[in-house]
Amino acid sequence: MSGCRSGGVHATFVSAGHVLGSAQILLEHAGERIVVTGDYKRAPDPTCSPFAVTPCDLFVTEATFGLPVFRHPPIEQEIARLLDARRLHPDRAILVGAYALGKAQRLIAELRRAGHHEPIYLHGAMERMCRLYEELGVPLGDLQLVAGMPKGALAGQIVVCPPSALSDRWSRRLPDPITAMASGWMQVRQRARQKNVELPLVISDHADWQALTDTIAEVNPAETWITHGREEALLRWCQLNQRRARALALVGYEDEDD
């Protein structure tokens, strides 16, 4: 936790649990407290500090997965599915699309936690951020680049790449890859089909519906402002639970691959 003061307003940064270094901002002035969350999640993550519940008068929350249908499964379940696919298809590479910041490192750390200590191979675009995480104290184990590896040597191996590389010519260097993607949106089957994802992994770095509603209840603000996602459903939940709330429809925010 760190803070600063400007113009009579004291700003404190507290963990958001989204990715390494992500923060909520607590603004305090004349006895009033405002918390702006940015992106956040409540699920445990070995690569970053957990979300810090911070009581306040006004709570500004994201709502990326702000619909009751979004209930993210435990990440251990999705990692087990990934490892099962590898075991069942030893002649195929497992190619996992994941954001280079946060998602890829969490995926790798969870694979290590599940007992997978063999090399994990990286698309070149993933290396720099993974090395930075390691420099900041997050161990990721044996990471190697795909570049220069014989095609046959990657059979039965896990390869992590940016989502854009899943259908790129680059993927042709892998032996009959099983295309996977780690994203909260993989719960929507149509999205998985649109991206030709064979193994959808529901792994999100955002709060799901239950986590969003639980967080509002725990923070217990006098008023909640909802933005960046499904504002209407979460607004309705607040109304049904006698909580003052309003939706902030910000221009320029679209769905993320998460």
Is 1's pLDDT higher than 80?
Answer: no
Cα(12)–Cα(75) distance, integer angstroms: 30
pLDDT value of position 195? 86
Mean pLDDT of 80-99: 98
Q: Tens digits of per-residue pLDDT, 45-71?
A: 999 999 999 999 999 999 999 999 999
pLDDT of 256 above 60: no
- What does the pLDDT read at residue 199? 97
Residues above pLDDT 70, as percent of the chain: 95
- Would you state the pLDDT for residue 107? 98
The pLDDT of residue 258 is above 90: no
Which stretches does DSSP call E strand in the chain?
Answer: 2-6, 9-15, 23-29, 32-36, 58-63, 94-97, 120-122, 143-145, 158-161, 178-182, 199-201, 223-229, 245-248
Q: Say how many C-beta atoms besides its own lie within 10 A of residue 45's C-beta.
A: 21
* Mean pLDDT value across residues 68-91: 97
Which has more pLDDT, 4 or 111? 111
Per-residue pLDDT, averaged over 162-181, amounts to 94
Query: What is the chain's alpha carbon radius of gyration, rounded to the nearest angstrom?
Result: 20
Q: How confident is the model at residue 3 (pLDDT cuts 50, 70, 90)?
A: low
Whether residue 251 is predicted with pLDDT greater than 70 in this model: the reply is: no
Q: Sketch the domain layout of the chain as residue ranges.
A: 2-70+206-248, 75-201
Tell me whether domains 2-70+206-248 and 75-201 share a fold: no
Average confidence (pLDDT) over 33-50: 97
Mean pLDDT (the chain) is 94
What does the pLDDT average to over 34-42?
A: 97
> Which of the four pLDDT bands, split at 50, 70 and 90, describes residue 4?
confident
Q: Average pLDDT for residues 25-42, to the nearest whole number?
A: 97
- Residues 95-128 have pLDDT tens digits of 999 999 999 999 999 999 999 999 999 999 999 9
Sign of the CA dihedral running 27, 63, 130, 148 = negative
CA torsion angle for 118, 153, 47, 106 (degrees, to 10)? -120
The pLDDT assigned to 8 comes to: 85
How high is the pLDDT of residue 244? 98
| Token pair belonging to 164 | 């854009």
> What does each C-alpha distance from 103 to 19, 106, 108, 109, 226 come to in angstroms?
8, 5, 9, 10, 24
SS3 257: coil
Q: For residue 32, what pLDDT band results from cuts at 50, 70 and 90?
A: very high
CATH 3.40.190 fits 75-201, yes or no: no
Q: What tokens were used for 12?
A: 């404190």
Q: Which CATH superfamily, name and number, covers 2-70+206-248?
A: Ribonuclease Z/Hydroxyacylglutathione hydrolase-like (3.60.15.10)
